[in-house]
Amino acid sequence: MTARLDIDLGAIQHNWRLLDALHPGETAGVVKADAYGLGAAQVGPALAAAGCRMFFTAHLAEAVALRAVLPGHKIAVLNGLFPHRADEFLAYDLIPVLGSLGEVADWRAAARVLPCFLHLETGMHRLGLTLAELAVLAEDKSRLDGLSLEYVITHLVAADAPGDAVNERQKRLFRELAQQFPGVKTSIGNSSGMFLGADFHADLARPGAALYGINPTPGRPNPMRHVVTLTAPILQIHDLEPGETVGYSGEWRAARHSRIATLGVGYADGYHRALANKATAYFDDTPIPLVGRVSMDLTTFDVTDVPARPGDMLTLLGPRHDADALAAQAGTSGYEILTSLGGRFERRYIGA
Ligand SMILES: *Cc1c(COP(=O)(O)O)cnc(C)c1O
């Protein structure tokens, strides 16, 4: 008996359509990190079937793998052109999101018709051409000769905080910088950026997390459909006397006669160790607390108050307790919960 991860491809398709309907422009699908841990080989074609025509990965190897399941779609690589790898971009028909004058020069040196995006730095300070580099380009436009520049993009620092003035500053700066590239299309918003209002809309949106059910509007109701459900069977139930402890270092001590259920899911499965004595699972509709530490392959829950028996399933991630809720208990983000989900679950793709 193993834990099972149900991934609702129909919900991902619904989420893509919902996001696409938010704005007049085009909507890409960000499928980096194996589609946020959910499986790019399954998620990519499901998004394509919903109408998505452009995909973003972070790494070249991710894009090469995606090309095998998406033979005809545009695939762009956010982390840019890696040194000495232009031939692979060409062989697999991949588009680099160029982030420096050096990458621009390397891509031109590959010397054919060269589709590319340019990443403009507006405050994130991770990737993208700086103001100084853009000034060099403005002086010498021939540096782009031969390139087929399809989009200029930027990435928001705090899109999930609508009140943060940095959003407005980045948008203005980006619009100003983009004027240097007349006729070239623009791309600004990630998932949360799409909810900042119409003046953040551009020709292309780049949602990732919201496709996978993560709330793009933290603090407000989640407009996205639920995608990921993780259930695990109870391996054993132990009856504890008051005063007995559970797990490593005996961090949890029974205050009453207790029934403790053991699940075969641990931190090696992405069920974070930081959840010790904090997480909630569900037995049907009833929340039950994690007790003791999270081990590599096992966790323990207090099922004293529910009629659980060995073999019954507990829900670790579900509509009542989604990745954002578990993340709050672990002190991390829903993004990290999803991308940490391990390879030992039985994965089922449903709904497509
Ligand atoms: C990861 C990423 C996205 C998608 O962000 P979400 O918050 O998951 O929607 C968009 N653009 C860039 C540049 C990214 O790195």
| pLDDT beyond 80 at 201 | yes
pLDDT confidence of residue 138: 95
Residue 76 beta carbon below 6 angstroms from any ligand 1 atom: no
Residue 189 CA to ligand 1 center (angstroms) comes to: 8
pLDDT confidence of residue 34: 98
| pLDDT beyond 70 at 114 | yes
Structural contact between residues 202 and 231, judged by C-beta atoms closer than 8 angstroms? no
Class of domain 9-212: alpha beta
For 323, counting Cβ atoms within 10 Å of its Cβ (0-12 exposed, 13-18 middle, 19+ buried), the class is buried
Domain regions of the chain by residue span: 9-212, 228-350
Structural contact between residues 273 and 236, judged by C-beta atoms closer than 8 angstroms? no
Residue 202 structure tokens = 């551009």
By C-alpha distance, which of 150, 87, 93, 90 is closest to 118? 150
What is the residue-averaged pLDDT of the chain?
96
Residue 78 beta carbon below 6 angstroms from any ligand 1 atom: yes
Residue 33 CA to ligand 1 center (angstroms) comes to: 11
- Unique residue bearing structure tokens 């459900």: 229
Residue 199 structure tokens = 């003046």
| pLDDT beyond 80 at 320 | yes
| pLDDT beyond 90 at 113 | no
Per mean pLDDT, which range of 106-120, 196-210, 291-305 is the poorest? 106-120
Residue 164 CA to ligand 1 center (angstroms) comes to: 18
Catalytic residue among 151, 248, 267, 335: 248
Percent of the chain whose predicted confidence (pLDDT) is above 90: 97
pTM above 0.85, yes or no: yes
Non-local (6+) Cβ contacts of 257 within 8 A are 239, 240, 241, 242, 304
185 is catalytic: no
Coil/strand/helix, residue 253: strand
Residue 31 CA to ligand 1 center (angstroms) comes to: 9
Per mean pLDDT, which range of 107-121, 239-253, 328-342 is the poorest? 107-121
349 is catalytic: no
Residue pLDDT, tens place only, 50-86: 999 999 999 999 999 999 999 999 999 999 998 899 9
pLDDT confidence of residue 352: 77
Protein residue whose Cα sits closest to atom 6 of ligand 1 = 208
pLDDT confidence of residue 253: 97
Residue 21 structure tokens = 């309907």
| pLDDT beyond 80 at 1 | no
The domain 228-350 belongs to what CATH superfamily?
A: Lyase, Ornithine Decarboxylase; Chain A, domain 1 (2.40.37.10)
pLDDT confidence of residue 110: 86
pLDDT confidence of residue 111: 65
Residue 30 beta carbon below 6 angstroms from any ligand 1 atom: yes
Non-local (6+) Cβ contacts of 97 within 8 A are 56, 76, 77, 78, 79, 80, 116, 117, 118, 119, 127, 153
For 308, counting Cβ atoms within 10 Å of its Cβ (0-12 exposed, 13-18 middle, 19+ buried), the class is buried
Residue pLDDT, tens place only, 143-178: 999 999 999 999 999 999 999 999 999 999 999 999
Residue 99 beta carbon below 6 angstroms from any ligand 1 atom: no
Percent of the chain whose predicted confidence (pLDDT) is above 70: 100
| pLDDT beyond 70 at 214 | yes
